[in-house]
Amino acid sequence: MAETPPEAPEEATSGAAEGRPLTRLPSDPHARPDRIASLVGMCVGASGGSLYGAILIQRIGGPLSTWQGAIISLGLGLGLGCAVGYILGPNLTVRPYFWAEEQLATLPPSELLGVLGGVIVALAIAALVALIASGLPFGLGWVVAVLVAAVLVPLGLTVGRRRRRDFAMMGLPLSSTGPPLARVVVDTSAVIDGRLLDLARGGFCLYQLVIPQFVLEELQAVADSGDPIRRSRGRRGIAMLEELRALPGLDLTFPTVDYPSMSEVDARLVRLAREEGASILTVDFNLDRVAQIAGLRVLNLNQLATALRPSLVAGERVQVEVVKEGREPEQGVGYLDDGTMLVVEGGRAHLGDTVPVVVRSVIQTASGRMIFAQVDPDQKLESPGRRGARRPRSADGGHA
């Protein structure tokens, strides 16, 4: 078998190739409903502001009853109503709806039960407070009940979500698809690294990959950088992300959680992983150390690559027994202890011998690993198994 040089790995060229347009991240599907809600809010706010200005003109009168005062009052009411409606429109309608939809769609059954239990307990306490305070004058009892509900419902949501494991420990058949996958928060460096895509293609990514929105924003910022090297890395990350999304069977989520008080992406990743009870997938050494100090589990692709590196490298010397002839002239074939085939150039002359060889190259193929070597001329040969062991010749050329 003649030695063939290993093929150079193909580079990801989608979006990162020179001369091709940059593929942008998918647009926010909530942008259009937000704009519609803002326009509707502006219309409602304009109507309410104009009506309020007209009421003020009628009740106050005086300087407002003149046409100048009426125009100023209506203009201020109209402008203030439009501004308030534009701001409150999406925040009171579509955004709470989409937030609730996303949370309910991604919650596991045990966590959903915990959330519902916390909300029910909070509402029950608020109803009890309303019953006790119903005797207060001017409807203060209902005001107190509403305030208590506003405080206890978010608290019940948080506590019920964190106590989801208690529901899971009850042994209830909450899921028919088996236990949920372990969650892993993916760093920007891991998205850019091509080895994550190779692992996912090979079926070794048995996790739920969590790529938060602030990681996508950082990736987009890197792709838009003025530095050519950073821009190329960002485009490569976007190309890797698109291919990851296209893989069937890969559990990939993009939560919109964010922590505006934290400016560093690494700090946000650590906090998100701590709150979700997830691990962190990265190739960043500094993030690895910080996450471990915080008590989190870290999956580092560099450590994985070190664990899977070949046991032999070019230039290394080993002893191998040549057990059979190779396909090409002068070639012999031997096997390592783990069954890896080793092709020895010049090994046919040492068939049955244990010879020292020098590794020339290691080729990794889909069917396994193949090592090419040549007999080491600088070391003495060991021939314990040589068939028909050679006898020393006498001075006249005959056998002793």
- CA-nearest of 37, 97, 99, 91 to 256 is 99
Q: Return the pLDDT at 53.
A: 79
Longest dimension (CA), the chain: 140
Geometric angle at alpha carbon 295, from 294 and 296, rounded to 5°: 95
Q: Are 141 and 135 contacting, i.e. CB atoms less than 8 angstroms apart? A: yes
d(CA 226, CA 361): 40
- Chain mean pLDDT for the chain: 76
* pLDDT tier, 6 (very low <50, low <70, confident <90, very high otherwise): very low
Task: Compute how many other C-beta atoms are within 10 angstroms of the C-beta atom of residue 160.
Answer: 23
Q: Do domains 183-307 and 317-375 have the same CATH topology?
A: no
Architecture in CATH of 317-375: Beta Barrel (2.40)
Q: Which residues pair with 325 in a beta bridge?
A: 332
**Nearest alpha-carbon partner for 208 in 169, 172, 177, 167:** 177
| Location of structure tokens 């090994």 | 347
- Domain residue ranges in the chain: 31-94, 107-168, 183-307, 317-375
- 80-127, pLDDT tens digit by residue? 888 888 888 888 888 888 777 776 766 666 667 777 877 888 888 888
Residue 348: CB atoms within 10 A of its CB come to: 17
Residue-wise pLDDT for 310-363, tens only, equals: 677 778 888 889 999 888 888 899 988 767 788 998 888 888 888 889 888 887
- CA dist., res. 154 & res. 161, Å (int): 11
Q: What is the pLDDT of residue 379?
A: 63
Residue 8's pLDDT band, with cuts at 50, 70 and 90, is very low
How do residues 195-230 score in pLDDT, each as one tens digit? 888 888 888 888 888 998 888 888 889 999 888 888
- pLDDT digits over 120-150, tens only? 888 888 888 888 877 777 777 788 888 888 8
CATH code assigned to 183-307:
3.40.50.1010
**Those residues with Cβ within 8 angstroms of residue 2's Cβ, 6 or more apart along the chain or in another chain:** 327, 328
Residue 366: the pLDDT is 58
> Could you tell me the end-to-end alpha-carbon distance of the chain, in angstroms, rounded to an integer?
39
